[in-house]
Amino acid sequence: MELSVVIPIYNEEANIGELHRRLTALLAPMALPGGYELIFVNDGSRDRSLPLLLELSERDPAHVRYLSFSRNFGHQIAVTAGLDRAEGAAVVIIDADLQDPPELIPALYAKLHEGYEVVYARRRSRQGESAAKRFTAKAFYRILRAMTHVEIPVDTGDFRIISRKVVLALRQMPEQNKFLRGQISWIGYRQTFLEYDRAERAGGVTGYTYSKMLRFALDGITAFSDVPLKVATVGGFAVSGVAFLVMLYTLYSRFFTHQYEPGWPSLMVSILFLGGVQLIAVGVIGEYLARLGANVRQRPLYIVSEGNLPAPAPGTTGA
């Protein structure tokens, strides 16, 4: 198998047909030695995505592989399940909503053969997304970059082509809180990028709610940076230092100048302030601890309910 395309699917009934048409129109003429496969991973869709995939696999059995989860496990996990089963010498990860233009795949593929292991697609512009989404995404990538030593490219989604070497390396990373673009950067090798203009979603609505985006952002930060923990520690010391000075001053006024008010405002302010700082610090620690817990539990990353793919090779992350 020369090329695998991994496509996560969550409520994409409006796009599956068109996506398959465009991918086929592109990949068939490339006459890849060993052929190509399209791996659709249905991530617990509530619409007609699954029956559509079944139909596709009957119409195009040589290329369409599909896999269905028992529920919605999330975009990153869906992609991981596809990677666990991909057989291609090169693997493309692409969104189903045609925001990532399939037409870029031949260029990505050609670039990979210039001696790279990863060619990611960087968004030059984004269309049809709210100002709030664009702003939060932009801010997130920059904050993450400032907080980690791993060079995670900014303004880049998961749309990319990776070589088999990288796929095998990813299969050895069984972490529960997936942040694939970070993991792929972490793996190293020669990586490069191509630029493209991100289109509007072809049909349907985004599956990324704000709560999913927040969880994704926290997964990325906790997996690739300890800075928040350090901020909590350093902040705790700083606040304690100030509190100690104020305490000295209070004792001084009480016993030496005898000028003091039995004042509750200062008391309230310091209690509230310290309470806040402590809660934040505990919360930050909790974020890390929760993820530690998830990894210790060692649950499978996802549960497959059906599909036309064999179980993955041992050593992969899923069930």
Closest CA to 185 of 158, 164, 208, 212: 158
14, 74, 87, 176: residue in contact with ligand UDP (rule CB under 6 A): 74
Residue 65's binding partner out of Mg ion, ligand UDP, none, with CB under 5 to 8 Å set by partner kind: none
Question: Taking contact as CB under 5 A, which single stretch among the options 93-101, 210-218, 268-276, 304-312 is the one that binds Mg ion?
Answer: 93-101
Residue 99 in the binding site for Mg ion (CB under 5 A): yes
Q: Kindly state the smallest distance separating residue 137's Cβ from ligand UDP, in Å.
A: 8
Contact status: 43 vs ligand UDP (CB under 6 A): yes
* DSSP line for 201-259: -SSS--S--HHHHHHHHHHHHHHH--HHHHHHHHHHHHHHHHHHHHHHHHHHIIIII--
Query: According to the binding rule CB under 6 A, does residue 136 interact with ligand UDP?
Result: no
**Residue 156 binds ligand UDP (CB under 6 A):** no
* Number of neighbours of residue 183 by Cβ within 10 angstroms: 20
| Out of 3, 52, 96, 161, the residue judged to bind ligand UDP by CB under 6 A | 96
Give the rounded distance of the alpha carbon of 289 from its chain centre. Answer: 19
Say how far apart CA 14 and CA 49 lie, in whole Å. 8
Residue 213 CB-density burial (10 A; 0-12 exposed, 13-18 middle, 19+ buried)? middle
Per DSSP, the chain holds a count of helices (H) and strands (E) of: 10, 8
Q: What angle do CA 63, 318, 215 make, to 5 degrees?
A: 105
Q: Which is nearer to ligand UDP, 13 or 87 (CB)?
A: 13
37 is a contact residue toward ligand UDP (CB under 6 A): no
Choose which of 3, 5, 6, 10 interacts with ligand UDP (CB under 6 A): 10
From residue 184 to residue 223, what is the string marking binding to ligand UDP with x (rule CB under 6 A)? ----------------------xxx---------------
Give the C-alpha distances (Å, rounded to integers) separating 227 from 30, 110, 153.
Answer: 46, 38, 19
- Residues in touch with ligand UDP (CB under 6 A): 8-10, 12, 43, 72, 74-75, 78, 95-97, 99, 206-208
- Residues in touch with Mg ion (CB under 5 A): 97, 99
